[in-house]
Structure 1
Amino acid sequence: MRILTVGGGGREHAAVEALFRSGAEIYSVMRNVNPGIIGRAKKYKIVDEKRIDDICEFAIEHDINYAFIGPEAPLEVGLVDALENIGVKCAAPTKAAARIETSKAFMRELVSKHNIDGNLKYASFNNASDAEKYIRAQASEIVVKPIGLTGGKGVKVQGEHLHNHEETMAYVREVLSVSSMGGVIIEEKAVGEEFTQMVFVDGKHIAPMPLVQDHKRAYEGDVGPNTGGMGSYSDANHLLPFVPEEARKKSLAILQQIVNAMSAEGCPYVGPMYGQFMLTKNGPKIIEINARFGDPEAMNVLPILETGFFSIIKDMVSGKLKDDIKFKPLATVCKYIVPIGYGTSPQSGHEISVNEKGVSECGAEMFYANVDMVDGKLLTGTSRAIGLVGIGATIEEAEQRCESALKFISGSGICVRHDIGKRSLIQKRVDHMKSL
């Protein structure tokens, strides 16, 4: 059976490796030359991932049976709808179902309408005057988000990024000035520790993946601008050191409620779903729901997936998802190598040297992301370049393997957050939860 993969990032490379292990015949489209993906694909095409007609033409030409779409942008423009119209079964949501991510207002309204647990107080606006009245009326700190897609980098929090009313309103006006952002949503600030619970979904049923914690801030010590994610870790028991089983069960119950609500609304959800939660003293609260695998979180869970990924894809699209999907009892630590300036003014075009054998011998896996092959040279783009994932019996062992593997990647214009997965940073999370 032939499967089309869409996307050329680290998340998609991890998915391609999992599909390759499960015996799929892979055909890929991507906007950059990802050497990891093209090494596994029988055929590939370099094309903008939102060019629906070109992608459908490629699918028809190669008689594609199934499709996996990695990034959110093609979901927003209706790639799944177009592929399904030509008979390609997609393990990804339709344009209507993808609104769970592409419109933060849609997500909050759905959760409110169906009385789903874990919601936050919110209001959405299209003009600054109404937004300001609402903000002035709030007794506690708030979060400002564009309603539309921003690649995980559009959220600003009072007390962290916004230090007074003037800064808050300046950002509200900035968001409203960009029509593609779709307006602004103001949410109450949840206090606690964030975690990611991803699930596979077949329209009705969910099957969980291991918990992961991402690190959004650009610099060590959790400071600096928000990014798409600098790295992440997961534990061998598939929980997290600060997330007990009870909290995980509550987050899964919330995701099941969301899947039920979407089915009731006539837009059933199929594919991986990413729940971003804040564990507070009152349990998990919904921060965001994404219509795809997380990036970097996919690189934590897919390398330890024991059940064949291709069989899971076929089960999702047939509505027969099994509840016994297996993951190895191993910990993982992912650290992204990024171009200097990532998060503010990234520099592109720097050459990177990679010793893949050395990385593998360290007990790590490597996933190419926003890189390009030009005249035989591996060059950085403006986003995250390579994800390195250490795998071990404990988080500490996985982190050490990741650090050892970093020595086999070199370049003048790159940097990394070395503190991700370190015992001291994780203990900081644990202590924070105990203090609430």
Structure 2
Amino acid sequence: MDIKMRILVVGGGGREHAIAAALSKNTNTELYCVMAKKNPGIAKLCREVLIHPETDAEAVVAFAKQHNILYAVMGPEAPLASGVSDALTAVGIGCVGPSKNAARIETDKGFCRSLMQKHKIDGCPAYKLCQTPEEAAEYIRAYPGDLAVKPTGLTGGKGVKVMGEQVDREGAVEYAMTLKNQTIILEERLLGEEFTLMAFVDGKTLVPMPLVQDHKRAFDGDKGPNTGGMGSYTLADHKFPFVTDADYAAAFSIMQATVDALAKEGCPYKGVLYGQFMNTATGPKVIEYNARFGDPEAMNVLTLLESDFVTIAEHIIAGTLSAKDVSFANKATVCKYIVPQDYPDNPHAGDKITVGAHENTILYYANVVEENGVLKTQTSRTMAFVGVGSTLADAEAAAETACRNVSGNVRHRTDVGTEALFAKRIAHMKELRG
């Protein structure tokens, strides 16, 4: 007699491998997955997988019904944007992942800013919505300071150009002119230190996860183009020295107010809410929200999760979540992504890679294929190692050693989680606040 809970994971990246690994710790579960490309790490944890576009709601629902799926956990943003969560809910399958309407908090930056403004939510930077590239170009030329130029839709974390960082004023104008057939959002450039606060949300209650800091730039020293994220770290106390208790309380309050506002707008939010904040001289401002776990950040926090993820999922779906349901180990983590040598601009696929010794780390597969037991790169981020230790230094050393023990035409950022980079972040915050 089959008494196992059948759970569906939607998505096939490093984040989804971490989700599947966390769910599989509950031995009373049987995992299934729909993913566009086969992730060998996820496939090993699943009873059955469907290799198919994750955005095809009809196919996802058919697969879920065929296998009597009880719950689904959504990974990436694209299936949320295409209404996969709504389609599953409509046939009685509980979903950890917001409805298409609620996911607009990520998928439509204009909606996000308008919601914050309408409900007088703190932390909203000054912004302007422009309907055409020409309107944006005119505003950029006339604006006295620096701006962040963003398309309002999904960009995989790579669509933002910041004046004074990646582009000058003329470069910002040129970039805006390439953004045809979509609204453009221009925001004041925020100066400070970024941090990520993610929370489990059941429609009204938020339960926070450890603070994480991601590293978007491709190369050491925060150089090069933006990527989906090259690595991230957490500290053993789940906080950061450059985020005061008052900053943390403000960020959490902003997220709670946002969830309350979505409920008032008739689209209650259930799933994981990711708040990306810039901690400025005057406190945290919202850079953006994501309607799901971050990638790489999911790998840090889910590695630390001590509670049963399946039980948390049940409480999210039932609307009965409370802080007592969630606990994380008091350890530090450092996640480092292995990527193709010329990622992100010109990555080469099909190169053989060999994983070496990786003690005190967890390995999560991402955009990698396995052919006859041989791992080969694809064009996106390949795999990630999460080092775990009692201190940041221990966790970083474990992750760095594991990365160096990978052979092949790949690279990684060596500075993620290092004391030197960490000290730089602290000094920067002190300088901003005098």
Which runs of structure 2 are paired with 1:21-420 in the superposition (5 Å)?
A: 21-23=25-27, 24-163=29-168, 165-175=169-179, 177=180, 179=181, 182-324=182-324, 325-355=326-356, 358-359=357-358, 362-411=359-408, 413-420=409-416
Check whether the contact 1:101–1:290 (CA below 8 A) recurs between aligned residues: yes
Residues 170-225 of structure 1: per-residue CA shift (max 9 Å, x gap): 100112x2x3xx32100000100000000000001100000000000000000100
Check whether the contact 2:415–2:421 (CA below 8 A) recurs between aligned residues: yes
Runs of 4+ in 1 over 6 A off after TM superposition: none
Matching residue of 2:422: 426
Residues 80-114 of structure 1: per-residue CA shift (max 9 Å, x gap): 11111111100101110110000010100000000
* 1:346 maps to amino acid: P
Determine which of 428, 431, 434 is the counterpart of 1:435. Answer: 431
SS in 1 for 2:261: helix
**Distance in 1 of aligned mates of 2:184 and 2:12:** 30
**Distance in 2 of aligned mates of 1:330 and 1:272:** 22
Deviation at 1:53, TM superposition (A): 1.6
Aligned residues: 426
**Distance in 2 of aligned mates of 1:48 and 1:215:** 28
Deviation at 1:410, TM superposition (A): 1.6
**Distance in 1 of aligned mates of 2:322 and 2:265:** 24
Residues 223-260 of structure 1: per-residue CA shift (max 9 Å, x gap): 10000000000000000131122211111100000000
Deviation at 1:138, TM superposition (A): 2.2
SS in 1 for 2:154: coil
Check whether the contact 1:16–1:37 (CA below 8 A) recurs between aligned residues: yes
Deviation at 1:7, TM superposition (A): 0.7
Distance of aligned partners of 1:185 and 1:133 in 2 relative to their CA distance in 1, 3 Å threshold: same
Let me know the Cα RMSD of the aligned residues.
1.1
Matching residue of 2:13: 9
Deviation at 1:36, TM superposition (A): 1.0
**Distance in 1 of aligned mates of 2:140 and 2:164:** 14
Check whether the contact 1:172–1:184 (CA below 8 A) recurs between aligned residues: yes
**Distance in 2 of aligned mates of 1:148 and 1:407:** 37
SS in 2 for 1:341: coil
Deviation at 1:344, TM superposition (A): 1.2
Give the TM-score of the pair, scaled to structure 1.
0.96
**Distance in 2 of aligned mates of 1:29 and 1:55:** 7
Fraction of identical pairs, as percent: 49
Gaps of 5+ in 1: none
Deviation at 1:292, TM superposition (A): 0.1
Check whether the contact 1:213–1:233 (CA below 8 A) recurs between aligned residues: yes
**Distance in 2 of aligned mates of 1:141 and 1:132:** 13
* 1:422 maps to amino acid: T
* 2:415 maps to amino acid: D
Check whether the contact 2:86–2:100 (CA below 8 A) recurs between aligned residues: yes
**Distance in 2 of aligned mates of 1:13 and 1:409:** 19
**Distance in 2 of aligned mates of 1:390 and 1:123:** 41
Check whether the contact 1:353–1:409 (CA below 8 A) recurs between aligned residues: yes
SS in 2 for 1:354: coil
**Distance in 1 of aligned mates of 2:246 and 2:118:** 25
Residues 110-134 of structure 1: per-residue CA shift (max 9 Å, x gap): 0000000100001111213322332
SS in 2 for 1:409: coil
Check whether the contact 1:241–1:426 (CA below 8 A) recurs between aligned residues: no
Deviates more, 1:374-383 or 1:85-94: 374-383
Check whether the contact 1:306–1:328 (CA below 8 A) recurs between aligned residues: yes
Check whether the contact 2:16–2:75 (CA below 8 A) recurs between aligned residues: yes
**Distance in 1 of aligned mates of 2:30 and 2:250:** 38
Deviates more, 1:276-285 or 1:131-140: 131-140
**Distance in 2 of aligned mates of 1:405 and 1:283:** 37
Check whether the contact 2:110–2:185 (CA below 8 A) recurs between aligned residues: yes
Give the TM-score of the pair, scaled to structure 2.
0.96
Deviation at 1:407, TM superposition (A): 3.6
Gaps of 5+ in 2: none
Deviation at 1:168, TM superposition (A): 1.1
